[in-house]
Structure 1
Amino acid sequence: MRTTHSVIFSTLLLLGIAPSAHANLSSTVTLTSNYLFNGITLTQDDPALQPSLDWVSDSGWYLGTWGSNVSFAENTDREVDFYTGYYTDLGNHWAMDLGIAHYTYYGSSDSSAFDYPEAYIKVSYGNTKLSYWYAKDYFGAGGGHYIVMLTQTIQLTDGLSLILSGDRSTSTDTSKFLRDNDGTYHHWRIALISEWLGAKWTAAFDDTDLELDDLGEPTFSLSVAKTFNWL
């Protein structure tokens, strides 16, 4: 899906947010060896190209869209997400991010059955972040689902960071969206991130305790991301 500047600006006006000189419009293009979603591959371990378009104001409001190729379901080959939210610095090293996202899927007339909205809140203190996401119709299956994640960033050198994260995914109705027997699984990730040649390079290892066949297996991945500023 192609999103132009005029589409973003029209959406901002509809939301009552006027573009101004005190805002930033940027695109980030990411190439990754594997699109992992909470530790589960959505590309059958194949590479993915993932562009985004983001508007961020100095007041903390933001709006954006992000896309990727996918192959987790027959005849579904694209994902396009839309999101908006508000980020604020609370002082004394505390910050909060509140928002909503809508995941949409394309490729056939049946692909939209996977579409679903999600709300999230992220609270951080220094380099530690606690995040929570909730969807009442996860992947269009009709059941609720929430994820709690703890992330720690460790600055190793000026240009190298280590990011450690762990999260718990819980389906509130396993008859709608299957997980393990109790509807939960855990995912952990170790990532090294470096800035080099004007791009962000990431090497990561993901694993889960998910017991479903061929899902959530130990996975190494590599990605490179380049950001282009338009405003």
Structure 2
Amino acid sequence: MFKMKRVAAMAALCAAAASPTAFAGWSGNVGAFSDYSFRGLSQGKGGDAAVQGGIDWEGDSGLYAGTWASNIGFGGGTEQDFYVGFGGSVGELGYDFGATYYWYPEEDETDSDLSTLEFYVGVSFSYFSLSYAYGDETNFFMGDGDAEEAGYLSLGMELPITEKLAFTASVGQYSGDEIERYFGGEEDSYIDYSIGLSVAIDDNLSASFQYIDTDIDVSGFEDDPKFILGMSYGFDL
């Protein structure tokens, strides 16, 4: 059983931090993707497609909260995330910090303990964003109730090519005691990276393509490069 997951909301929240009043109020999003990858690793079963969606609220002050869900290939088949945070800007520098709770509602049915609380902080400037997320007990790796700490450092870029087309890239490092435990003591960190394109079809609908891979070289752990196609639709409520 594979036990890892994501903070996809992080990239959107870092981007929004540069203009905290731009999205004040309620909004929603739905999407379909050929795979669900979190920090370089697939969350599906054999590359299954993922249907995802969320609801967000943001106030004029920069305070925000939301929830997001996806089908997954472990822990009973469902992931539900809840997050709350605060974002703003100082000049051209955006900032963002908060917490995310990853909940697996059917985990009891699989006799596992996967739900995890993470805290995160991020900054953004121009086309770049930098973020760090930390969990004191990162249960979603092993799900055995004996989780230890792990942190994820990520650098992202979204570079406009035309008015509707953008080049995206990211690199991240996941490290900590739980990573070492997960890999059986062979490694205590790994690096993931991605490159891709995003296309704004209209004001609400967008498409994306990503190539994702990692540097994992651990005996018994298969990690193939991933090519992920996706469509997402955002709307005001």
TM bracket, shorter-chain basis: 0.7 to 0.9
**Structure 2 length normalisation: TM-score?**
0.81
Equivalent residue, structure 2, for 1:55 = 57
Root mean square deviation, CA, Å: 1.9
Residue 58 of structure 1, CA deviation: 1.6
Equivalent residue, structure 1, for 2:117 = 117
Cα 1:192/1:115, change in 2 over 3 Å: same
Q: What are the residue-to-residue correspondences of 1:64-143 with 2, within 5 Å?
A: 64-73=66-75, 76-91=76-91, 93-110=92-109, 113-138=113-138, 139=140, 140=143, 141-143=146-148
Residue 177 of structure 1, CA deviation: 3.0
Contact between 2:180 and 2:187, CA under 8 Å: does it hold in 1?
no
Q: What are the residue-to-residue correspondences of 1:39-50 with 2, within 5 Å?
A: 39-44=40-45, 45-50=47-52
- C-alpha separation between the residues in 2 aligned to 1:110 and 1:156? 47
Which AA in structure 2 matches 1:69?
Answer: N
1:201 and 2:201 are equivalent in the alignment: no
Equivalent residue, structure 2, for 1:31 = 32
1:192 and 2:191 are equivalent in the alignment: no
CA deviations over 1:152-209 (Å, ceiling 9, x no partner): 2211000001111100010224564337723110000002000114411000000001
More strand by share: 1
Equivalent residue, structure 1, for 2:12 = none
Count of aligned positions: 206
Which AA in structure 1 matches 2:90?
Answer: L
Identity of aligned residues (%): 28
Equivalent residue, structure 1, for 2:7 = none
CA deviations over 1:137-156 (Å, ceiling 9, x no partner): 11254110101111122110
**Aligned mate of 1:161, from 155, 166, 169:** 166
Equivalent residue, structure 2, for 1:4 = none
Which AA in structure 2 matches 1:136?
Answer: D
Residue 108 of structure 1, CA deviation: 4.7
**Structure 1 length normalisation: TM-score?**
0.83
Unaligned runs of 5+ in 2: 1-22
Equivalent residue, structure 1, for 2:231 = 224
Cα 1:120/1:215, change in 2 over 3 Å: farther
Cα 1:137/1:108, change in 2 over 3 Å: closer
Q: Which moved more, 1:23-32 or 1:114-123?
A: 23-32
Residue 129 of structure 1, CA deviation: 1.0
